[in-house]
Amino acid sequence: MANKKINKKNIAKLLGDWSKEFELFIPSKDEGIAKFAKWDGKDTSFLDWHRNTIVPPKAIFFPPVEEMFSFQKDKQSYHIELPSSDGQKQLIFGIRPYDANALTILDKTFKDTYEDPYYLPKRKNTVLVGLGCTKPYDSCFCTSLGGSPTDSANVDLMLTDIGDEFLVEGVTDKGRELMSMSSELEEATEADETRAKETKEATYQKVTRQLDTKDIEEKLLSSFEIQDLWEEIAAKCISCGICTLLCPTCYCFDINDELIKDRGTRFRSWDSCSFPVYTKMPMENPRIEKWRRVRNKVCHKYEFYPMNFDVIACTGCGRCVRQCPVNWDITQTLEKMQAKVQSG
């Protein structure tokens, strides 16, 4: 199917067509916090303000708190009840390319290592409609990780801003099926294609922050035992966990039971390797010192995960840089570490 286009004024109608079949999520603001939320059937104001959400779309597939099952105890045994799943088809509209890429990284944890019964059904029933990023933050560095602000590789349908309209590109069969479900789309012209190409090239150049990832696994391995370096790197960190909780590829969780009399619920909730009690056991804490936790966080992204899955667990979205309350910067950390290794 050839590429289409749609006037920005008709986006609400387009979403309305799709909402008949899908539970639709769009960028939204809740008390000033930008995140993906269910569409109310009218609001498209995000087209004016959306650069990227603070809370990544991973929260739709892997919620901050998620019920695993409920249970009831009687005199003989426990009765287990799994949470209901209606198999509702979902559509995420406006996902940025680096967040779509992050989901493919999460897939490796929740599918390749073991098949997670909570994450995978939601992932399978979701269609991703990407929206190219034309105003990247100065904290973004997605191009250093092989991505692009307008990359269509990991979405089903891709929209690129070409002025008063969006060029609409069907990437997968799911995306092309979506295109056939709306009468608001028009045939794209050669001029539209040219404008889209110019937008993509210009936007790529706007990502000015760069990170050298060449041989980064080996360099991290070489610096692993240099305690003074990691203490220096960790000095500013306050172990708040924001960088990991808002990271689109972090997946650590804790499991707890909530019990009231003979009824209870087991749930999992986001956890962070930045926290002092992370992985704490009755007799010991394997990473009491802050520098060890910081080292683990950095090495997991750029050394351990690539060792296991052959991909860096970072997409360069820049959330950890923008949201850190003490301006701790992962790119500066890695540059400092690499410089120290090279000079040593």
> Where is the domain boundary, 176, 206, 236?
206
pLDDT at 6 over 70: yes
Return all residues near 173 (Cβ < 8 A) that are at least 6 apart: none
- In a domain, residue 211? The reply is no
For residues 42 and 126, state if they share a domain.
yes
For residues 110 and 225, state if they share a domain.
no
Could you tell me the pTM of the whole model?
0.93
- In a domain, residue 297? The reply is yes
- In a domain, residue 72? The reply is yes
Cα–Cα distance list, 212 to 123, 173, 217 (Å): 32, 36, 11
Structural contact between residues 105 and 123, judged by C-beta atoms closer than 8 angstroms: no
Structural contact between residues 293 and 239, judged by C-beta atoms closer than 8 angstroms: yes
- In a domain, residue 338? The reply is yes
For residues 58 and 182, state if they share a domain.
yes
Looking at residue 344, its pLDDT comes to: 60
- Taking the CB of residue 196, how many other CB atoms lie within 10 A of it? 25
For residues 333 and 294, state if they share a domain.
yes
Range of the domain at 62: 4-206
For residues 60 and 177, state if they share a domain.
yes
Q: How far apart are CA 6 and CA 8, in angstroms?
A: 6
If pLDDT is split at 50, 70 and 90, which confidence band does 288 have?
confident
pLDDT at 339 over 80: no
> Tokens representing 301?
């992204």
Q: How far apart are CA 7 and CA 1, in angstroms?
A: 19
> Where is the domain boundary, 167, 183, 206?
206
If pLDDT is split at 50, 70 and 90, which confidence band does 182 have?
confident
For residues 254 and 320, state if they share a domain.
yes
Look up residue 38 and give its DSSP letter. E
> Where is the domain boundary, 172, 206, 240?
206
- In a domain, residue 262? The reply is yes
Q: How far apart are CA 281 and CA 278, in angstroms?
A: 9
Structural contact between residues 239 and 290, judged by C-beta atoms closer than 8 angstroms: yes
Over the chain, what is the mean pLDDT?
93
Q: Based on the structure, what is the number of domains in the chain?
A: 2
- Taking the CB of residue 108, how many other CB atoms lie within 10 A of it? 17
For residues 231 and 202, state if they share a domain.
no
